[in-house]
Structure 1
Amino acid sequence: MQNGALAASLVFTAVATAAAAADLASPPPLVVPMSWLPSFYVHVGVGGIFNDPKARINLAGTPVAGGTVRIDDRATFAIEAGYFVAPAIAVSVSGGVPPISKVEAAGTLAGLGPVGKTEGGPVAATVHYHFFGLGAFQPYVGAGLAALIVFGDEDRLLRRYRTDDAVGPVIQAGFDLMLDSHWGVFFDVKKGFLATNTKGYLFGVPVRSNVSLDPVVLHSGLTYRF
């Protein structure tokens, strides 16, 4: 009986030792420090706006075959302010200093020059999911609504040139690379689906157009969490 009890004790000890060794061999789960997850954050940096315009232009109610426009890419100061409503879910609003964009005739209208200038740009309100568990590297994806807000237009080829505000969906992706509990760097890309209407007069003849902008906004700079 004593030999049997001793054998059972040795088996139990060996199993317990093996289990403990397996636990030591397995890396501990990576836990994101809660100090990296304050409620508020801001992204501050340079934003680039890249439009992909496609236009349907009417001259006195008659479609202009092959007529379209070209819009310059622009860079501006941009900021995004966000709030974590849950450990991995945040909401944010982003915008920037409205750039002045030159709108030029293109397609079959190429060579006519600028038709007008517009001061304005996209703003966005989005909800996004953040993937924690990778340490300082924290990617995210999101979606929401974007708006083109126009502050003013300038005449060029067209007189009484005007651009309408617009609203449409937007998708978002990016990442934060945290340097400590408050500071980091980020890269963000948003793709908006926006279309606007413009109007003006060419030698007294009304010109109307519907322009799909579908801008891509690249934003990069500093992250601050508090």
Structure 2
Amino acid sequence: MQRTTRNLARLATIGAMLVGTLASAQAADLPVYKKAPPPVEAFNPWMVRLRVLGVLPDAGGSTVNVAGVPSLSSPNSGLSISDQVVPELDISYFFTRNIAAELILGVTRHSISGTGSLASLPIGKTTLLPPTLTLQYHFDNFGAFKPYIGAGVNYTVFFNNSAANVPAAIVGPPAIVATTTNLHVSNAWGGAVQFGFDYMIDRHWGLNVDVKKLWLRPDYSATVSGLPVTGTAHIDPWLVGAGVTYKF
């Protein structure tokens, strides 16, 4: 009886081993399915923005030199340059997800007039093409809110200069009626800094607010009632813009 019991135990152990081996073999033969990783979005380096831009010159410190008339020259006289609101396009290229270059394109036309002793004298108008290239750092750890800072250079082309050519009484001494002709403004380089942010509504579209400060000080010349006038216009505008962003 004991021998029979031992034999049955051996058979049961062998059977269990065979069943385990068979189960392992079947499990090894079954294909293993792994969940596919989520697709990685391709990185596109291009971004464009369309803004409404306020160009706000700060002409304080502009110099005026009227040949032979010290009372009409600096520091008794200066320049005033009108504000302007225009559409503006910028194109950005991202070298990485954080570092980008931005080029802004727009054209503005401004009126120039005298201040101080020349306060009532309209000098003329000029049109500015001020392409500005900045290198930016974009912070990407705030979710949809993406602030950035930047710095760069500006080269402004002045064209379509037109002198006012309108007689105007200006204070003296002596008080005279003056007319401005032959206005010319030289092209000029300048520095630029900026800060702003994009708020992305979805993967492609967002809203943008941007502020730039340009240091722009071109030389100019004109003729006032036959007298040559020269100086440096401290335009130094703030560029304040808001608009839409499209990320490709």
Instruction: Give the alignment's TM-score, normalised by structure 1.
Output: 0.80
Tell me the residue number matched to 1:178.
Answer: 200
For the residue of structure 2 that corresponds to 1:201, the secondary structure is strand
The 1:61/1:90 distance shift into structure 2, 3 A limit, reads farther
Q: Which of the residues 78, 98, 110 maps onto 1:88? A: 98
Deviation of the 1:38 alpha carbon: 3.1
Tell me the residue number matched to 1:215.
Answer: 237
For the residue of structure 2 that corresponds to 1:87, the secondary structure is coil
Is the Cα–Cα contact under 8 Å of residues 36 and 181 in structure 1 kept in the other structure? no
Q: Which of the residues 109, 112, 116 maps onto 1:103? A: 112
Is the Cα–Cα contact under 8 Å of residues 36 and 180 in structure 1 kept in the other structure? no
2:177 is equivalent to residue 168 of structure 1:
no
The 1:35/1:188 distance shift into structure 2, 3 A limit, reads farther
Listed one character per residue, the Cα deviations across residues 32-77 of structure 1 (whole Å, up to 9, x for unaligned) are xx75963100110211100000311111166513210111100001
1:31-180 matches, within 5 Å, as: 35=41, 38-53=44-59, 54-60=61-67, 64=73, 65-96=75-106, 98-112=107-121, 114-156=122-164, 157-180=179-202
Deviation of the 1:121 alpha carbon: 4.1
The 1:46/1:36 distance shift into structure 2, 3 A limit, reads farther
Residue identity in the other structure for 2:87: F
Residue identity in the other structure for 1:120: L
> Between Structure 1 and Structure 2, whose CA radius of gyration is higher?
2
| Partner Cα separation in structure 1 for residue 109 and residue 131 of structure 2 | 15
Unpaired runs of 5+ residues, structure 2, are: 1-39, 165-178
1:192-207 matches, within 5 Å, as: 192-207=214-229
Tell me the residue number matched to 1:23.
Answer: none
| Partner Cα separation in structure 2 for residue 143 and residue 77 of structure 1 | 22
The 1:61/1:193 distance shift into structure 2, 3 A limit, reads farther
| Partner Cα separation in structure 2 for residue 61 and residue 119 of structure 1 | 30
Q: After TM superposition, what 4+ stretches of structure 1 lie above 2 angstroms from structure 2?
A: 34-38
Q: Which of the residues 210, 232, 235 maps onto 1:188? A: 210
Instruction: Give the alignment's TM-score, normalised by structure 2.
Output: 0.73
The 1:223/1:203 distance shift into structure 2, 3 A limit, reads same
Unpaired runs of 5+ residues, structure 1, are: 1-33
Is the Cα–Cα contact under 8 Å of residues 36 and 182 in structure 1 kept in the other structure? no
Task: Give the alignment's Cα RMSD to 1 decimal.
Answer: 1.8
The 1:61/1:212 distance shift into structure 2, 3 A limit, reads farther
Q: Which has the higher strand share?
A: 1
Q: Bigger shift: 166-175 or 201-210?
A: 201-210
Listed one character per residue, the Cα deviations across residues 100-135 of structure 1 (whole Å, up to 9, x for unaligned) are 2110111221122x1010011422100000001110
Identical amino acids, percent of aligned pairs: 32
Equivalent residues, number: 192
| Partner Cα separation in structure 2 for residue 149 and residue 141 of structure 1 | 25
